[in-house]
Amino acid sequence: MTWEIKGSCIEEYDNYAPTNTTHNHSLTVSSITHTMSSPKVVRWGICATGGIATTFTKDLLVDPTTRGVKHIKHTVVAAASSSSQSRAEQFLKDTGCPKDAKAYGSYEELVKDPNVDIIYVATPHSHHYQNAMLALEAGKNVLCEKAFTVNAAQAKELARKAKEKNLFLMEAVWTRYFPLSVYVREQITSGRIGPVARVLSDNSLAADPEKSFSDGKHRLVNPDLAGGALLDLGIYSLTWVFQTLYHTQPEKTRKPPKVLAALKQYGPTKAADETTTMILSFPRSEEEGGEAHAVATTSLRVASFPGGLKDVPAIRIQGPKGEIQVFGPAYRPERTRVILKDGSVEEKDWPQPGPGKGSGWYNGFGGGKNDEGEGHGMFWEADEAATAIVEGRKEGNYEGLDESIVIMETMDEVRRQGGLEYPEKIETTKFPAPV
């Protein structure tokens, strides 16, 4: 096999374009051209065996050429469960992993496996810091589920450790890597709607919490697991705000927002948020359009789409020349609409590619579905992580560690204003956590 890296140019997802459009779509995923006789295989180790680990692993095993990706392939060489080795074995079977993949009964064993190139951390956010640090300390690259950590101090420590060890580290905010998100950012940077003046962003699920999580143990409401709407769902409301108002700015001039927050505690546990709303103000020079505003909101009580209705935009990105609307759940949108001042309207559908229908998604508390073989959309972030490793990059292209840290700082400030603190054992930066 040869794997040649050249100096400049782009890689295209040339088989994947939105439907209902004549738009000529090419996505820049790297700053180098890959010329190869066969794709580079990246070997994954899966840390935890819960809901999202299952969805992600199934997506990893979808043939990348079904989305036009030819320069890399993914394989799963190991998975670990903190509960038992047999659970890891079952996980490997259920997700259709290669027969020789190793099953471990502890995360410590997984990170020592010399065949693993990158670890995907899929534990509750309360545990991301400890689990990602374990992997980095052992010399492994890491893709870590959202929310990256419980607080910004932990995020900074992980970034520091990755740098010290010269390892790749990325927060797994899958939505950022969707072709739909790339398209939206391109509409902004090309100036199509003018400088963005305001963003309205909602990611809310009417989860019926007292009924669905009546014992208070579910990760969405359990303070020991950093429960609440903000870290689980609000991160997507903020993702849309940051990827449109912050990431689209030149790195040198990006400035963190001022934040004003209202946070309602979830009654039964009083240590997780039920509904949180943030007003953000991004400082900008006059040449950049001046100060820009955002309202980002999230809730476990009420829904962005009551009754499953998806005809209300979850995100509205507004500029003087027009507005971009994004439909479907903020974490997995499937349609965009651009409305320009001249009255023209352009709609695009963005179904997830893959062998299945791409119609279901895992929602973290028993709803939704995860159809056999469907493209869920988590492969885009996996492609980015694998591409970075092959290229020798240490961060993701569409959300670097500095940006993950600024977002964690924003959520810290929201929690400070709302009086939401988690137990010290999960807020700590000590590694390993004191028992």
Shortest Å distance, C-beta 219 to ligand LJPVP2WV: 8
Among residues 343 and 434, whose Cβ is nearest to ligand NDP?
Answer: 434
Shortest Å distance, C-beta 381 to ligand LJPVP2WV: 12
Residues that contact ligand LJPVP2WV, how many (by CB under 6 A): 5
User: Which sign does the torsion angle of CA 59, 63, 68, 73 carry?
Assistant: positive
Residues 331-350, mask of contacts with ligand LJPVP2WV (x by CB under 6 A): x-------------------
Q: By CB under 6 A, is residue 232 in contact with ligand LJPVP2WV? A: yes
Query: Considering only residues 28, 83, 86, 214, which one is a binding residue for ligand NDP as defined by CB under 6 A?
Result: 83
Where in 17-56 is the site for ligand LJPVP2WV (CB under 6 A)? none
Among residues 50 and 356, whose Cβ is nearest to ligand NDP?
Answer: 50
Query: Considering only residues 48, 119, 170, 261, which one is a binding residue for ligand NDP as defined by CB under 6 A?
Result: 48
Residues that contact ligand NDP, how many (by CB under 6 A): 24
Query: Considering only residues 21, 90, 281, 363, which one is a binding residue for ligand LJPVP2WV as defined by CB under 6 A?
Result: 363
| 87 touches, from ligand NDP, ligand LJPVP2WV, none (C-beta below 5 to 8 Å by class) | ligand NDP
Shortest Å distance, C-beta 85 to ligand NDP: 10
Query: Considering only residues 101, 122, 136, 385, which one is a binding residue for ligand NDP as defined by CB under 6 A?
Result: 122
Q: By CB under 6 A, is residue 49 in contact with ligand NDP? A: yes
Where in 362-421 is the site for ligand NDP (CB under 6 A)? 362, 364
201: Cβ–Cβ under 8 A, 6 or more apart, which residues?
237, 238, 240, 241, 294, 295, 296, 297, 314, 315, 316, 330
Shortest Å distance, C-beta 340 to ligand LJPVP2WV: 31
Pairing of strands 315-319, 198-204: antiparallel
Q: By CB under 6 A, is residue 86 in contact with ligand NDP? A: no
Among residues 36 and 302, whose Cβ is nearest to ligand LJPVP2WV?
Answer: 302
Shortest Å distance, C-beta 232 to ligand LJPVP2WV: 5
- Greatest distance between any 2 Cα atoms in the chain: 63
Q: By CB under 6 A, is residue 377 in contact with ligand LJPVP2WV? A: no
Cβ-contact 201, 317 below 8 angstroms: no
End-to-end CA distance of the chain: 48
Among residues 54 and 244, whose Cβ is nearest to ligand NDP?
Answer: 54
User: Using H for helix, E for strand and C for coil, what is the string for 138-159?
Assistant: CCCEEEEECCCCCCHHHHHHHH
Among residues 223 and 364, whose Cβ is nearest to ligand LJPVP2WV?
Answer: 364
Can you give the binding site for ligand LJPVP2WV, defined by CB under 6 A? 205, 232, 331, 363-364
Can you give the binding site for ligand NDP, defined by CB under 6 A? 48-53, 81-83, 87, 122-125, 127, 145-146, 174, 219, 225, 232, 331, 362, 364
